[in-house]
C-alpha cells in the first residue's frame, strides 16, 4: 500500500477527550473515529488490526472444534421473554419497535437465539457435543461508555455456545474453550490470565474472566505471579484428548477478580513474594451455566436410553473491539504503538527518504515491488515529506519493521532496518532485504 494513496488520518495533537493511552493512540494513529457516544467507525488501519484479531480467534476456535455461523444483530423480544431475561436485562438493552409495532432489540448477547437454533434442528444425543460461534456486533447501552472502543456501546464480540448431554461433557467443552483461549490471547501477544469470576446476568456456576494486567484496567484482581509466565499449550494440543491436566494446572494457582476474591484464602494460597494485586482489563469471559436457558426454552435431545434430556450449555465471549486497545495498553512506548507482529496492520513499512528524487524513487519502487511479490503486507511511505515526519508516523502506527532507503544508502547499495520494538538498527545489502524480512 502506497501511503500517498492510502487513507491514514494521523492526528498530530493529543485529543483532549482521551483519558487512557490506548484511546489516545488509536485516535492519533487514525484507527477509529467516534460517531456518537460509544459508537465508532473503524478506519482502514484500525480495521486491518481488528480483522487480524478476528482471524486469530477464528483459527483457534476452529482448531478447538467450534463451528462458525452468523446470527443477526436484531432479535425478537419474544425469544427473550421465553428465557425470562427480557425484563431482567434492564436499561442496558436497546429496545426497538418496527413499523408493525412488533418488539425487537439489538442483541447484547445471543444465548436465546442460539438455543432457538439448537432446539429447531438438534434432536439426538448423537449430534453432541456441539459448539457454535459467531463474530457479530453487540449493543449494550452502557451507563458510561469510555476509553474509546474499550467500553463502547456497539462492540464486536466473538460468542461461542456449547451444547452437551450432561455436566461432565459440558465441563470438557469448557476445558476445550479454556485451552483455545490460552492460545488465542498468546498469539496476539497478550498475557491474559484466567480468573475465577462472578457469573453475573448470564448465570451459572463455573466461570473465568480473562484478564490483562494494566494500570488503566477497570477491575482489581488478585493472582499468583507464576501465572504470568506459564507456558501456553502448543498448536498441536489434542482437543479430542483429555485437557483436564492443563485446566487443573492453570486453575490450581490462585487468581480471582474483586467480586470473587476471598482475602484470607488468597493470602493462604499465595506466598507474599508471589502475590500480584493489580488492575486488570476483562478481555474475555467464559461460563458453564447448565440448563439455565435450555430448561425454559425446552432445548432437549433424545438420550442413549431413549429419554428426553435437557442439554447443558456454556457460553464463551471475547470482545474483539476491546482486545485491540488492550493490546495497545500492553504494548506501546512514548513514540506510539508497538504492534506484536501477529496483529500488526502491515508487516513492514518501506520509508523512501527522498521522494521526488528519481534514483531513490526508482530503487524504492523496485524494492517495494519485490517485498510485495514475496508476500509481505507492506506499507510504502512514498510521500514527499521530511524524513523526520515519516519516522514519527512509522513509530506512531507501530509497524514492526521500518525499511529505510535514501540517496546515501543507494550509493553504498545498503538499506537500514529499524526494529520498532527494540529500536535496534541493522544495515544490510539491498539485495538481502527480502530474504531478511520474509
Ligand atoms: P464488563 O464487565 O467490562 O462490563 P461484561 O462482563 O459485561 O464486561 P460479558 O457479558 O462477559 O461482558 O461479555 C464478554 C466480553 O465482551 C467481555 O469480556 C468484554 O471483552 C466484551 N465486552 C463487554 N462489554 C463491552 C463493551 N461495552 N465494550 C467493549 N467490549 C465489551
Ligand atoms: Mg458489562
Ligand atoms: Mg464483567
Ligand atoms: Mg463478563
- Nearest ligand 1 atom, CA 210: 18
For 29-89, the DSSP string reads: TT-EEEEETTEEEE-HHHHHHHHHHHHHHHHHHHHTT-EE----SEEEHHHHHHHTHHHHT
**What would the pLDDT profile of 28-74 be if each residue is shown by its tens digit?**
999 999 999 999 999 999 999 999 999 999 999 999 999 999 999 99
Distance 2 CA to ligand 2 centre (A): 40
Rounded distance from Cα 282 to ligand 3 centre (Å): 6
d(CA 293, ligand 3 centre) in Å:
20
* CB neighbours of residue 403 within 10 Å: 28
Q: What is the pLDDT of residues 112-132, one digit of tens each?
A: 999 999 999 999 999 999 999
* 79-93, 192-206, 293-307: the lowest-pLDDT one: 192-206
User: How far is ligand 3, taken at its centre, from the CA of residue 222, in Å?
Assistant: 15
The binding-site residues of ligand 1, defined as CB within 6 angstroms of any ligand atom, are: 140, 142, 151-152, 155, 157, 200, 282-285, 317, 319, 321-322
pLDDT in tens, 147-174: 999 999 999 999 999 999 999 999 999 9
Residue nearest atom 24 in ligand 1 by C-alpha distance: 151
Percent of the chain residues past pLDDT 90, beyond the cut: 96
pLDDT tens, 2-12?
999 999 999 98
By C-alpha distance, which of 258, 261, 265, 263 is closest to 282?
A: 258
ipTM of the prediction greater than 0.90, yes or no: yes
Give residue 86 CA to ligand 2 midpoint distance, Å: 16
CA-based radius of gyration for the chain: 24
At a CB cut-off of 8 Å and minimum separation 6, what does 110 contact?
71, 75, 134, 136, 159, 161
- Mean pLDDT computed over 331-352: 98
Q: How far apart are CA 84 and CA 74, in angstroms?
A: 18
Å from CA of 321 to ligand 2 middle: 14
Ligand nearest to the CA of 218: 1
* Alpha carbons 10 and 30: distance in angstroms, whole number: 5
- 291-312 mean pLDDT: 96
pTM: 0.97
pLDDT of residue 204: 59
Q: Which of 147, 200, 317, 327 to mutate to test the pocket of ligand 1 (most atoms within 8 A of CB)?
A: 317
How many CB atoms within 10 Å of residue 401?
23
Q: Give the per-residue pLDDT at 108.
A: 98
Instruction: Give the pLDDT score at 81.
Output: 97
Phi and psi torsions of 263, nearest 5°: -60, -35
Which atom of ligand 1 sits closest to the CA of residue 283?
A: 20
Which of ligand 1's atoms lies nearest the C-alpha of 202? 10
Residue nearest to ligand 1 atom 1, measured at CA = 282
CB 433 within 8 A of CB 391: no
Handedness of CA 384, 386, 391, 394 (dihedral sign): negative
Q: Which residue, by CA, sits nearest to atom 11 of ligand 1?
A: 285
Q: Using the predicted structure, report yes or no on whether residue 357 has a pLDDT greater than 90.
A: yes
All three cell numbers of 134, joined, read 459467531
Amino acid at each position: 500500500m502506497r501511503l500517498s494513496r492510502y487513507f491514514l488520518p494521523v492526528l498530530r495533537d493529543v485529543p483532549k477527550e482521551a483519558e487512557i493511552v490506548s484511546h489516545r493512540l488509536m485516535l492519533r494513529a487514525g484507527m477509529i473515529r467516534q460517531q456518537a457516544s460509544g459508537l465508532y467507525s473503524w478506519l482502514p488501519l484500525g480495521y486491518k488490526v481488528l480483522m487480524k484479531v478476528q482471524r486469530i480467534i477464528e483459527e483457534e476456535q476452529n482448531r478447538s472444534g467450534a463451528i462458525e455461523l452468523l446470527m443477526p444483530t436484531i432479535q425478537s423480544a419474544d425469544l427473550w421473554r421465553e428465557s425470562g431475561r427480557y425484563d431482567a436485562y434492564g436499561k442496558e438493552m436497546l429496545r426497538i419497535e418496527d413499523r408493525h409495532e412488533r418488539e425487537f432489540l439489538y442483541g447484547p448477547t445471543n444465548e436465546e437465539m442460539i438455543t432457538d437454533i439448537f432446539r429447531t434442528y438438534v434432536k439426538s444425543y448423537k449430534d453432541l457435543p456441539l459448539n457454535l460461534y459467531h463474530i457479530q456486533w453487540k449493543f449494550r447501552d452502557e451507563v458510561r461508555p469510555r476509553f474509546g472502543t474499550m467500553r463502547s456501546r456497539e462492540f464486536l464480540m466473538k460468542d461461542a455456545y456449547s451444547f452437551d448431554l450432561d455436566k461432565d461433557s459440558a465441563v470438557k467443552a469448557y476445558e476445550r474453550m479454556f485451552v483455545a483461549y490460552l492460545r488465542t490471547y498468546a498469539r496476539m501477544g497478550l498475557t491474559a490470565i484466567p480468573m475465577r469470576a462472578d457469573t453475573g446476568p448470564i448465570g451459572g456456576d463455573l466461570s473465568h474472566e480473562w484478564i490483562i494486567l494494566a494500570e488503566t484496567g477497570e477491575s482489581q484482581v488478585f493472582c499468583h505471579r507464576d501465572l504470568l509466565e506459564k507456558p501456553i499449550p502448543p498448536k498441536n494440543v489434542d482437543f479430542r484428548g483429555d485437557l483436564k491436566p492443563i485446566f487443573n494446572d492453570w486453575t490450581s494457582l490462585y487468581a480471582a477478580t474483586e467480586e470473587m476474591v476471598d482475602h484470607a484464602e488468597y493470602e493462604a494460597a499465595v506466598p507474599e513474594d508471589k502475590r500480584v494485586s493489580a488492575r486488570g482489563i476483562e478481555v474475555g469471559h467464559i461460563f458453564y451455566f447448565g440448563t439455565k436457558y435450555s430448561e425454559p426454552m425446552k432445548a432437549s435431545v433424545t438420550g442413549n436410553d431413549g429419554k428426553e434430556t435437557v442439554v447443558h450449555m456454556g457460553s464463551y465471549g471475547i470482545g474483539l473491539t476491546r482486545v485491540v486497545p488492550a493490546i495497545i495498553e500492553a504494548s506501546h512506548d512514548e513514540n506510539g504503538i508497538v504492534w506484536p507482529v501477529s496483529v500488526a496492520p502491515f508487516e513492514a513499512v518501506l520509508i523512501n527518504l527522498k521522494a521526488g528524487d528519481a534514483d531513490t524513487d526508482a530503487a524504492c519502487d523496485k524494492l517495494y515491488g519485490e517485498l510485495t511479490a514475496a508476500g509481505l503486507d507492506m506499507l510504502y511511505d512514498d510521500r514527499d515529506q521530511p524524513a523526520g515526519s515519516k519516522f514519527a508516523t512509522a513509530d506512531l502506527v507501530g509497524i514492526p519493521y521500518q525499511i529505510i532507503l535514501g540517496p546515501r544508502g543507494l550509493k553504498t547499495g545498503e538499506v537500514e532496518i529499524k526494529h520498532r520494538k527494540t529500536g535496534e538498527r541493522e544495515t544490510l545489502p539491498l539485495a538481502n532485504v527480502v530474504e531478511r524480512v520474509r
